Amino acid sequence: MTAVAARPGRASADSGTDPDGRAITWLAFRQVRRGGLIVVGLLAGMSATVAASYASTVGDALDAAALAALAENPAIRTLFGAPVALDDPGGFTVWRTGTVLGVLAGVWGLLAATRITRGEEDAGRWDLLAAGRVPLRAIVRRHAVVVVGMLLAAGFVASAALAAVGTAPAGALLHGAGLALVGIFFAAAGVLTGQLLPSRGRATGAAVALLGTGLLLRMVGDGVAALGWLRWLSPFGLVALSQPYAANRVLPVAVLLVAAVVLLGAALLVAGRRDVRGGLFGVPAGRPPRLRLLGSVPGFALRRLVGPLGGWALGLVGYYLLIGLLAVSMTSFLAENPRFASLAAQAGFGGLGSVEGYVAALFTLLAIPVGIFAATRIAVVAGDEADRRLTLLYAQPVTRVRLLTAEVAVTAGGGALLCLAAGAATWAGTTIVDAPLGPGAALAGGLNVLPVVLLCLGAAVFALGWLPRTVAPVGALPAAGGFLLQVTADSTGAPAWVGRLSPFAHVAPVPDLPPHWFASLTMVIVAVGLTIFGALGYQRRDLRG
């Protein structure tokens, strides 16, 4: 189907006063409002919480000598960014949460952009819309503007929250603008890849690869002084170069703004030059059929998993190889500066003075990406159902439970492989730098977070059966939400029972300490129960679409 070109009589359809255009804008807002409000709350809440608790958690622990030692350590700079203005509550907040919140804003921006543009178009919901009064370029533009507006609101609220707890207004405004622009940059990248590539999956994969590359460039630029110029090529590096609460440099943020505008402009230009449900780069026609693994339901589920699993494995292996390479530098630094080890313990990362304690703390974070991986795989099933790709399949002698069982089994296996890959990469890195970590200990540390991953998988299946429109966020809640809850509770001195609501409070620091077998078994039992209950709901309810 070809996009309908704009005619002179339809010129007003792309104007801000056109009722059709306003309806499209309102529809786009309804599609992103829930996730956007969550991002607004997280950016503002985490920033304000860390800044407000600065005096009680850090206080006078950071003197001039300690700050100099921190700034000179390459491992610290690589993992967390260059420490700037840590003697200021706002500066400490930027260093502690800036990269994490930037990644959060970027991931949400690109996922939301590809979902409400390329995803809606792939599902056929833009066919009649693009044949009407509003041209395709205007449809894409209005959806992009809504995502950008939500991210601008998140940055503004984060700035207001930081200013409200007493940090310098200039630094708060610059930091909020940086967070918003990181999200806008990757949202623009998502819109652009959605116009270039002919499917939502490929567009999302390309945008995520860009985000990972940007994060890697920031880490290398911060860790290797001779390659510091690489930070100018990364959205995360540009935000770091702005140095809120210290130099308050506007130029890097302006460069990031220009880059985001260029991506959005390119996306709108391409949108006016392609067909509906097509991309500037189409799929080659006439290739031979690929029938491997299509002879059974489990084989089909495995085939669907292989591509995404390879991408996730590549990213995790690269990150945890770096973790292993930095083991000696990080542990030596913390052994020489016990005050920082104490601050890390207050933030929930104890035992960093030894190699096993250091890798155990970083293995705990592994549950977040692997748990999100599990949730997104079940979300793919929900998307296939909503897009009516499963309707004819279920009309055959293939039950819903059979298909779901295959998806759950291969996803759980994929999660275990990702944990093992991260453990093996960490061991390889520590072996290169002669750090004392055996392969068995590294693999055990990776597999130790598997119960949390299974909780995410169970929560996603539960949502598929009873809340099918919320599979991804509900599935990610045990990992992402649990970690945020633990960090917030530890940073603010909340009652002990609040922190223990998080699954991470029951995960032992393996290989530094033995596993908590009872807690792990309990989480697995809960995960199995959620899966069974979700499967029952999935079997009983009507198909979506």
What DSSP letter does each residue of 409-454 carry, written as one string? HHHHHHHHHHHHHHHHHHHHHHHHTT-S--HHHHHHHHHTTHHHHH
What's the pLDDT at 279? 74
Q: Calculate the CA dihedral of residues 468, 469, 471, 473 and round it to 10 degrees.
A: -150
Contacts (Cβ under 8 Å, ≥6 apart) of 510: 360, 363, 444, 445, 448
Question: pLDDT tier at 488 (50, 70, 90 boundaries)?
Answer: confident
Give residue for tokens 């890195």: 429
Q: Are 385 and 542 in contact (CB under 8 A)?
A: no
The pLDDT of 356-360, averaged and rounded, is 89
Nearest one of 31, 6, 185 to 117, comparing CA atoms: 31
3-state percent helix, strand, coil for the chain, nearest multiple of 5: 75, 0, 25
What's the pLDDT at 77? 77
What are the boundaries of each domain within the chain? 16-278, 292-545
Q: How many CA atoms lie within 13 A of 384 on its CB side?
A: 18
Question: pLDDT tier at 66 (50, 70, 90 boundaries)?
Answer: low
pLDDT of residue 17 exceeding 60, the answer is: no
What DSSP letter does each residue of 362-395 carry, written as one string? HHHHHHHHHHHHHHHHHHHHHHHHHTTSSHHHHT
Query: What is the overall mean pLDDT for the chain?
Result: 86
Q: Are 357 and 351 in contact (CB under 8 A)?
A: yes
pLDDT of residue 7 exceeding 50, the answer is: no
What's the pLDDT at 273? 85
At 445-469, the pLDDT tens digits run 999 999 999 999 999 999 999 999 8
Q: Are 144 and 28 in contact (CB under 8 A)?
A: no
DSSP for residue 6:
P
What's the pLDDT at 205? 85
What's the pLDDT at 8? 45
What angle do the packed helices 136-164 and 169-196 form, to 10 degrees? 160
The pLDDT of 471-499, averaged and rounded, is 84
Question: pLDDT tier at 160 (50, 70, 90 boundaries)?
Answer: very high
Nearest one of 201, 12, 134, 389 to 126, comparing CA atoms: 134
At 281-331, the pLDDT tens digits run 765 555 677 777 777 888 989 998 998 899 899 989 998 998 899 888 888
pLDDT of residue 4 exceeding 50, the answer is: no
What's the pLDDT at 12? 47
Residue 333 structure tokens: 């630094």
pLDDT of residue 375 exceeding 60, the answer is: yes
Contacts (Cβ under 8 Å, ≥6 apart) of 217: 230, 231, 233, 234, 236, 237
The pLDDT of 45-53, averaged and rounded, is 88
At 222-272, the pLDDT tens digits run 887 788 899 999 999 999 999 999 999 999 999 999 999 999 999 999 998
The pLDDT of 498-518, averaged and rounded, is 92
The pLDDT of 431-444, averaged and rounded, is 94
| Whole-number Å distance between alpha carbons of 376 and 464 | 11
The pLDDT of 438-448, averaged and rounded, is 95
| Whole-number Å distance between alpha carbons of 7 and 132 | 11
Q: Are 527 and 367 in contact (CB under 8 A)?
A: no
Nearest one of 33, 18, 30, 281 to 135, comparing CA atoms: 18
Nearest one of 114, 185, 147, 198 to 376, comparing CA atoms: 114
| Whole-number Å distance between alpha carbons of 327 and 355 | 6
What's the pLDDT at 372? 92
- The model carries a pTM of 0.82
What's the pLDDT at 68? 58
Count of CB atoms within 10 A of residue 98's CB? 22
| Whole-number Å distance between alpha carbons of 431 and 441 | 13
What's the pLDDT at 63? 58
* Stretch among 75-79, 91-95, 104-108, 375-379 having the lowest mean pLDDT: 75-79
pLDDT of residue 13 exceeding 50, the answer is: no
